[in-house]
Structure 1
């Protein structure tokens, strides 16, 4: 039987209130905080029929496992994943846009990547089951609700999954600092999966070999690379720009 999990922060809990209020067991709110943002949140939670529990900062920090709870911590039942990757792709209208993360283990980075993926209209974020972070309360907090809206699919064999995407005529474009061509030299307007590796090691060798093409984000200053979530924003919104033409 599934056990309740924790969401914390205004954005993450508000999105759950919007998308699946019936899954919320209870919401703990900080008694001492009654500013306008909290009052608005409480009103929305009451309208959704959620159970509210007054709590102090110490209890909220213990529940969230972090002091960055903003005075809001919810116990929620897991929402069963609605999609496999095949299901996601079968439902896409138009050219699929996927983000593939190879070896991203920092929950803050994953949360930020999910947030930008939601903003860019990504159909799914794909990662390997090994050497990657799963969804947790920190990811959900940083994602500001996107962990609830963007399918995050962890696959057993990433290279095999990329080859299956190729069979669907989805181009695999990987990002590497040593690539000759830049992001702005390639056509991203069609079906495409953009592959980013972890900071430092980058993509694993097998993932790199599986890509149809390698490109880089041009760098004009002293630093050699960008944070993976920033890089995700740059490449995804270049794809969006090309698709809006």
Structure 2
């Protein structure tokens, strides 16, 4: 490990520039992931001390910085806790790379990084084996996504597919029931009472699931809500769906 002082870095572009993960839990998870390429840790003295209290930081190069410089780099809204880790994006998996799939979350063109990060966190909490996204119309890995995921980006495999319809067919061939969510579906969501492998399919807010995706679902369900608001953020819907999917499992 080297600890150096350099001039502050210019503000980065999350859509084009390097990937910075920030915040204690997110940086800790990335450091603990042996499959993650870590380039440089930017840390304030206090941030570095807290990070070391949570575990070994390994051989990553450390650049001492200030809260002001991190604000300038990441933007004033970033809750960085004195830590930012420059990394390569986490490796995306193919559908054939993960053999035992009992519970997966499938995202049909969900593009908001806050939502995808929150869904990753929920998927991790409920023991999902993977989150499946499309190669197009899905967000690039950013600090915003990683912060929303609170470390789950380095814990839950992300499977990237080019053709979602083909991927759903493969999941069905592997014995999974494909459960789609739509506010207009005739059947309400109910807790599952068996151990049948399940793929929970969620669409983007507003447009929902595409027609071909709906056609390939074995079941379509809706979330019944007695209150005056009849729709939820997709990440909240994912949490309810995963609770129902796992509530009856042994």
Counterpart contact for 1:28–1:53, Cα < 8 Å: yes
* TM-score, normalization by structure 2: 0.84
Q: Give the Cα–Cα distance (whole angstroms) in 2 for the partners of residues 75 and 161 of structure 1.
A: 32
1:46 Cα deviation after fit: 5.6
Change (3 A) 1:25 1:45: farther
1:131-159 per-position Cα deviation (integer Å, ceiling 9, x unaligned): 22232221111101111111112211101
Please report how far the alpha carbon of residue 130 of structure 1 lies from its aligned counterpart in structure 2 after TM superposition.
2.1
Structure 1 residue ranges without an equivalent (≥5): none
Counterpart-to-counterpart distance in 2, 1:109 and 1:22: 22
RMSD, aligned CA = 2.3
Q: CA deviation at 1:123?
A: 0.8
CA contact 1:21–1:50 (8 Å) conserved in 2: no
Structure with greater proportional helix content: 1
Q: Which one of the candidate residues 101, 113, 119 is aligned to 2:119?
A: 113
Q: Secondary structure at the match of 1:40?
A: helix
Structure 2 residue 60 is the aligned partner of structure 1 residue 74: no
How far the C-alpha of 1:205 sits from its partner, in A, is 1.0
In structure 1, distance between residues paired with 2:221 and 2:243: 15
Match of 1:237 in 2: 243
Q: CA deviation at 1:59?
A: 2.4
How many Å separate the matches in 2 of 1:177 and 1:121?
25
CA 1:176 to 1:76, structure 2 compared with 1: closer, same or farther past 3 Å?
A: same
Once the two structures are TM-superposed, the CA of residue 240 in structure 1 deviates from its matched residue by: 1.5
2:190 counterpart SS class: helix
Q: Any gaps of 5 or more consecutive residues in structure 2?
A: 1-16
TM-score w.r.t. length of structure 1: 0.86
Query: Hey, what's the Cα distance between the residues in 1 that align with 2:236 and 2:160?
Result: 21
